[in-house]
Amino acid sequence: KENKTSIFFTLFLCYTCIKLILCFPNIQSSLQSLNLQGHFTFENNEFASIDFGNQFHYLPSAVLYPKNVSDIASTIRHVWNLGPASGLTVAARGHGHSFQGQAQAAQGIVVNMESLSGQQMLQVHMGEFPYVDVSGGELWINVLKECLKYGLAPKSWTDYLHLSVGGTLSNAGISGQAFRHGPQISNVRQLQVVTGKGEVVICSEENNADLFHGVLGGLGQFGIITRARISLEPAPKMVKWIRVLYSDFSTFAKDQEYLISSKNTFDYIEGLVMINKTNLVNYWRSSFNPEDPVQASQFVSDGKTLFCLELTKNFDPHHNIDKEIKSLLSQLSYIPSTLFVTEVSYVEFLDRVHAAELKLRSKGLWDLPHPWLNLLVPKSKIQTFAQNVFGDILTNTNHGPVLVYPLNKSKWDNRTSFVTPDEDIFYLVAFLQHAVPSTTENDGLQYLLNLNKRILEYCEEANLGVKQYLPYYTTKEEWRAHFGTRWEVFVQRKLAYDPLAILAPGQRIFQKAI
């Protein structure tokens, strides 16, 4: 059945492409006739068919470089006026860091959202409840740098900051602060959105609330976020960054759950699975200090499955927090010889993945295919999941980090489009793999895709109630199952805000009617 639907989708795509190619000269001249501050390009648009996943490549007919929100609204209104028969679609492209073509539009129009960013679009507002107004195309790293000038910072992050505000708000934006502040979509006060009819709408909890909630986690289906108002807090200056190891998953998970449920706790809580890593703690020593160097040097990681708890505590350099940290750590049951600590600035900590990116780029290892798989696993099923996936299906973690950490559902707003497992605590499990071009069948792209398939099949067979994060599905039935009881609301919102299914075709949820 899945194959049949895939074949249908491919045929549909071919038909649309042929139709659009035949219409292309008309589309080009009609777009050029629009009165815009920005401009279109019709050639050399290959970049818009590439993303971080590096597996799907669909070339658009045109790329819009908007100078303001009206450029986006006029373009979408134009496509809307062409009607369903044009087959033309529009995809916002933030930083293009999707994994399966979600920000692409085959023969359609890609809106290069970064053209909308820039200093004049970034405004910090001080006061009792400070916030920043930012362009949807702004990168989080720039938001951070601007806010720090006022001693402020957003509360909730992703592990990597070179992603756009609109791109992460269309998904969720999850990192180690989310247990306390919720994901990034829980920290937005207002949005400016261009709907699939080309209307510019300001929305918030108070005004146009249905659109506001729909767009958050809405996979770009209901509108293009052109502006967002993000809550801020006083920015920490420094960070104590701690790593400890466990050999037993249930002790590791128990400690994580204890930490995310305590009032007095760390500021960031994540975890990693490490299978058969050689010389792990020695590798850490290049940037972390072991509390007991002699004991640490005797710890052997080879051949083991280990679980690394990663924590931070923010601090002001004028105040010593070592005692407080010691007291927090004393509640945990990690392997004592594996306590490693370092001290870095807040920016250095938040921008840590970029440092890794620069290293990987210099070795030509950044632009590889990335068959990432992100799952949300209910707390009641995480032990079974760990036993089967980390103990059986996954035999090593050489292809990239595997993250595991719990989140509090109470920090998520169930009026948004985002769907979570139906339990108070659920785990994010992220398989962040890269495929090395290889001659052996054990680490190529197909191998990793098969591994992901096995993990998903296992979750399905064992009926674990798992949801995908940054979901990728090929059939409507799968999307319906993903949204569950929320599917009808999702469809109603689509009919209300993008009835011709013009927006974000790369998510493959709805197809533009012809």
Please report, as ranges, the residues that interact with ligand FAD according to CB under 6 A: 51-52, 91-98, 102-103, 113, 136, 158-160, 163-164, 166-168, 170-175, 219-220, 224-225, 353, 470, 504, 506-507
- Return d(Cα 472, Cα 483) in angstroms, integer: 13
3-state secondary structure of 115: helix
Question: In this structure, which amino acid lies at residue 140?
Answer: W
Nearest residue to 67 (alpha-carbon basis) of 8, 12, 115, 125: 115
- The position carrying tokens 């639907």 is 5
- Return d(Cα 191, Cα 136) in angstroms, integer: 9
Nearer to ligand FAD, 304 or 476 (CB): 476
Provide the token pair at 460: 């399905």
Min CB(392)–ligand FAD separation in Å = 26
Half-sphere exposure for 30 (CA within 13 Å, toward CB)? 18
Nearer to ligand FAD, 238 or 470 (CB): 470
Contact, 198 vs 76, CB < 8 A?
yes
Nearer to ligand FAD, 62 or 219 (CB): 219
The active-site residue, picked from 51, 71, 95, 97, is 97
Contact, 233 vs 134, CB < 8 A?
no
Name the residue number minimizing CB distance to ligand FAD.
166
Question: In this structure, which amino acid lies at residue 107?
Answer: Q
- The position carrying tokens 């001080």 is 126
Min CB(29)–ligand FAD separation in Å = 26
3-state secondary structure of 5: helix
Nearer to ligand FAD, 328 or 432 (CB): 432
- The neighbouring-strand residues paired with 373 are 431
Nearer to ligand FAD, 120 or 264 (CB): 120
Min CB(484)–ligand FAD separation in Å = 21
Nearer to ligand FAD, 263 or 363 (CB): 363
Nearest residue to 272 (alpha-carbon basis) of 244, 308, 311: 308
Min CB(136)–ligand FAD separation in Å = 3
- Report the Cα 374 to chain-centroid distance in Å: 9
3-state secondary structure of 497: helix
Q: Give catalytic status of residue 399 as yes or no.
A: no
Would you call 129 exposed, middle or buried from its count of C-beta atoms within 10 A (0-12, 13-18, 19+)? exposed
Q: Give catalytic status of residue 498 as yes or no.
A: no
E strand spans, 103-256 = 109-112, 123-125, 131-135, 152-154, 188-195, 200-204, 223-234, 238-246
Q: Give catalytic status of residue 97 as yes or no.
A: yes
Nearer to ligand FAD, 23 or 224 (CB): 224
Element (H, E) at 451: helix 445-461
Nearer to ligand FAD, 227 or 243 (CB): 227
Min CB(94)–ligand FAD separation in Å = 2
Min CB(113)–ligand FAD separation in Å = 5
- Return d(Cα 309, Cα 27) in angstroms, integer: 54
The active-site residue, picked from 159, 324, 357, 413, is 159
Min CB(220)–ligand FAD separation in Å = 3
- The neighbouring-strand residues paired with 407 are 426
Min CB(304)–ligand FAD separation in Å = 26
The active-site residue, picked from 138, 255, 257, 270, is 270
- The neighbouring-strand residues paired with 111 are 64, 92
* Integer angstrom CA distances of residue 375 from 107, 279, 343, 420, 429: 31, 29, 31, 10, 5
Could you give the residue numbers annotated as active site?
97, 159, 270
